[in-house]
Amino acid sequence: MATNRDHRGARAVAGALALLALAFAPGCRSTERAGSAPPIVGQVDHLIYLVPDLDDAIDSMERTTGVRPVFGGQHPGRGSHNALLSIGDGVYLEILAPDPSQPEASAERFSGRTIQPRMVGWAARGDDLDELMREAESRGVSLQEVRSGGREKPDGTMLTWRTTAPLGGDEGGLIPFFIDWGDSAHPSMTSPTGVRLLALRAEHPEPERIRTALEALGIDLPVGPGPEPALIATLEGPAGIVELR
């Protein structure tokens, strides 16, 4: 029987190892024409948008995009829960918020700080993470030990994944981590559709340094100057075009 991994075989070739083996021309700009998205869009697995209240954010995202995100599930012991929205083939938006049913874990993770809605990070497509680590090492980039994670979906089934990330940190959410979903159905396949990712870019006070770090990973994220680290996603839905940052 074919597995989800089998169905993603072609994408995997352009995924984990290609992220390190290929580099695309920088400076791509977003476009509204289907099929002409900048190369970075093809490298994205999912984007992470942190909000203070999940229910309010679901309502707000529906008004903004025209599509209502679906509740994803809880992260036991991590103090958070999420909602999901497909934003293209094999790409989704994760709306992440403190989980009031886990007050202690939530307080520890979010340090009791005031949360403003903002993009806080993203994941790049990966498949064979162990091979990815070896490829990265050969290019002088050290990645963290591969970690396994999972959560129970509302229907009771388990969603599992494996991740790794550069040891140097994410530079305010601009450097991605890599994720492999194994035989789990990719969340974009079970999330509401109708919105697509048009472009992804970043800003940083030291853009050249960030571009160098990204290029070492084969990541083609356009980075421009800005007063502070910022990840900016342009989405298009039935309600029009919206920018999240």
Cβ-Cβ contacts under 8 Å for 226 (sequence gap 6 or more): 203, 204, 205, 207
**Tens of pLDDT along 160-212?**
999 999 998 899 999 999 999 999 999 999 999 999 999 999 999 999 999 99
CA distance 124 to 13: 13
**Tens of pLDDT along 14-66?**
344 444 433 333 333 333 444 467 889 999 999 999 999 999 999 999 999 99
CA distance 239 to 126: 32
b (16+ CB within 10 A) / e for 86-106: bbbebbbbbbbbbbeebeebb
Nearest by Cα to 212 from 178, 183, 155, 174: 174
CA distance 225 to 202: 8
The answer to whether 215 and 163 have CB atoms below 8 angstroms apart is no
Domains of the chain: 4-244 (3.10.180.10)
The pLDDT value given to residue 112:
64
CA distance 134 to 167: 14
**Tens of pLDDT along 60-114?**
999 999 999 999 999 888 899 999 999 999 999 999 999 999 999 888 898 867 8
The answer to whether 80 and 97 have CB atoms below 8 angstroms apart is yes
**Tens of pLDDT along 213-227?**
999 898 999 999 999
The answer to whether 90 and 125 have CB atoms below 8 angstroms apart is yes
Residue type, 117: P
What is the total residue count of the chain? Answer: 245
CA distance 14 to 76: 33
**Tens of pLDDT along 119-169?**
999 999 988 898 888 888 888 889 999 999 888 888 888 899 999 999 988
